[in-house]
Amino acid sequence: MIQIKTRADFDKMREAGKVVEEALLTLGRAVEPGITTQELDEIAKRVFDKNGAISSSYHYGEPPFPGYICVSPNEVIVHGIPRRDWVLKEGDIVTCDVCCSLEGYHADAARTFAVGRISPEAEKLIRVTEESFWKGFEKCTIDHRIGDVSAAVQAHAESFGYGVIRELTGHGIGRQLHEDPDVPNYGRAGHGPRIVKGMAFCVEPMISSGRRDIALLDDDWTVVTRDGKYAAHYENTIIITENGPEIITLSEDKNV
């Protein structure tokens, strides 16, 4: 069931969104050749602690997720476990997926960062993945349905020949990290739940530069592309207010 939020709920979610954004900005400045994915996890944890926020990822699910954020390099699509022995190198890409709660309300966002200088192909994958989000975001108004968002994301990514991951989707969010509805990155325009005031959900294209087939590693968390091609991810939390859609994990001021 889709949980409709009040203005007071949205105010609390905005505060959680600010922490998520601060963590992502801090991570973006920290990513460089030689850093480990574990160090990125520690950086995010410090931002959570400073703000009194709680990681939504830590000990989530079964087996309990061991990191405070998900750190997913190269062919890892999502749910990469931070590791002391995974050192990022020039030319890698790395996705940081950050979600936290503040006073019981969650926010969730992801970015894929370049590690030093990366190939033009990797640059393009990151760019098109973000563009796919914005194509979906254009449909996040009360005259649309979730399927309109899905179809717009899919059409943009596939127009570049990229693989759109289907097994993982965006989701409603609020008092729970994952609520109804699912927000797939593929689908049919005009279908799915109608977008109404008071909804909050994440739109999060997960795009492979190769085929869309995935594999789950033995740790039961790490999701990779089956063909080993790079994948990128771009996510924000969106709330549907009386003034229209609002992104709470991305402010105008990028200099937090």
CB of 100 to Mg ion, least distance (A): 12
Site for Mg ion in 46-105 (CB under 5 A): none
Binding string, residues 95-114; x marks residues near Mg ion by CB under 5 A: -------------x------
Residue 35 or 65: the one with the smaller Cβ distance to Mg ion is: 65
Residue 36 or 60: the one with the smaller Cβ distance to Mg ion is: 60
| CB-based contacts of 46, cutoff 8 Å, min separation 6 | none
Residue 35 or 233: the one with the smaller Cβ distance to Mg ion is: 233
Tell me the C-alpha distance between 6 and 4, whole Å: 7
Tokens encoding 56: 């939504």
Tell me the C-alpha distance between 234 and 127, whole Å: 10
Binding string, residues 165-204; x marks residues near Mg ion by CB under 5 A: -------------------------------------x--
Q: What are phi and psi of 232, to 5 degrees?
A: -125, 165
CB of 99 to Mg ion, least distance (A): 6
CB of 56 to Mg ion, least distance (A): 9
DSSP state of 186: S
Q: List, as one string, the DSSP characters of 41-97.
A: HHHHHHHHHHHT-EESSTT-TTTTP-SSSEEEETTEEE-PPP-TT-B--TT-EEEEE
Other CB atoms within 10 A of residue 68 CB: 27
Tell me the C-alpha distance between 196 and 118, whole Å: 41
Site for Mg ion in 197-236 (CB under 5 A): 202
CB of 206 to Mg ion, least distance (A): 10
Residue 10 or 35: the one with the smaller Cβ distance to Mg ion is: 10
Residue 79 or 145: the one with the smaller Cβ distance to Mg ion is: 79
**By rule CB under 5 A, what count of residues binds Mg ion?**
2
CB of 97 to Mg ion, least distance (A): 7
Residue 35 or 199: the one with the smaller Cβ distance to Mg ion is: 199
Tell me the C-alpha distance between 252 and 86, whole Å: 33
- Degrees, nearest 5: CA angle 156-18-106: 80
Residue 60 or 160: the one with the smaller Cβ distance to Mg ion is: 60
CB of 73 to Mg ion, least distance (A): 18
CB of 204 to Mg ion, least distance (A): 5
Q: Where are the alpha helices (DSSP H) in the chain?
A: 7-30, 37-51, 120-137, 146-158
- Asked whether position 13 contacts Mg ion by CB under 5 A, the answer is no
Q: Residue numbers of the site for Mg ion (CB under 5 A)?
A: 108, 202
